[in-house]
Amino acid sequence: MQNKRVVLLGFEKMAEYAMYPVARDLAAVRELEAFHSIREFVEDECPMAIDILFVSAKYLGFEIAKRMTAIREVCPMTEIVCISLDTLSLFICRKLMKNGIDVLFLNMETQADYDRASYAIKNRGRYYPEALKTAIENRDFICDGGLHTLSRKERDSLVLTMQGYTLKAIAREMQITKTTASTMRRNSYRKIGVNNLADLIKFGLNYNLHVLEGNENAV
């Protein structure tokens, strides 16, 4: 086995226990280090550069761009592998790919997917499951329940709603009238097919609807 420094980042205890042997096999190493947060990771004083970083998709969560930026600032040359034991939506996978993940070890459908991902990790390559790449190339991620039909303002109003803002607070934040905010919310709910806040939260969790960043697929 090669002499590499390999790190697990952001895994909860049980997930860390489950992923430890998988990561060892994928990276072809005997020992791994584990950190539960970026802060803990940054404060580590080990002078040895990190060769491979396995990061939990759940940890990246709703802050993919922010956390990937923080990781890349500390480890600009590190091979970053995102792992998820759960199937992720195409929308989230596309976000991960766009934000600098080298290997997506998730949504695996065949042994060939596993073998190719393993080869890429060991040889500092890039790999995304073939079915995932094909779906994204075909823009299947647009089948997102209507998210792509939202304007930037409609999207931002939903983000604020998920963050607990009242209609009055949304109107103040977006510098619009309360009536306009109410109409915008009603129209947005209709476009994405939700009826209430509980439905919106479920939808938002599925499609990474969490920050005021505009909608690159809005029409």
By mean pLDDT, which of 74-78, 122-126, 140-144 is the weakest? 140-144
219 — pLDDT class (breaks 50, 70, 90): very low
Please check the confidence at residue 127 and state whether its pLDDT lies above 60: yes
Domain 147-206 belongs to what architecture? Orthogonal Bundle (1.10)
How large is the average pLDDT for residues 34-59? 86
Is residue 53 within 8 Å of residue 79, measured between CB atoms? yes
What are the extents of the domains in the chain? 6-141, 147-206
Question: How much helix, strand and coil, in percent to the nearest 5, is found in the chain?
Answer: 55, 10, 35
Q: How far apart are CA 80 and CA 88, in angstroms?
A: 18
Give the pair of three-digit tokens for residue 120: 């890429």
- pLDDT confidence of residue 215: 39
Strand 79-83 and strand 103-105: the pairing is parallel
Which residue type is seen at 192? I
Q: Name the CATH superfamily for 6-141.
A: Response regulator (3.40.50.2300)
By mean pLDDT, which of 3-17, 106-120, 156-170, 199-213 is the weakest? 199-213
Q: What is the mean pLDDT of the chain?
A: 84
Q: How far apart are CA 203 and CA 192, in angstroms?
A: 8
Please check the confidence at residue 211 and state whether its pLDDT lies above 60: no
- pLDDT confidence of residue 212: 56
- pTM of the predicted model as reported, rounded to 2 decimal places: 0.65
| Angle separating helix axes 152-162 and 197-206, nearest 10 degrees | 110
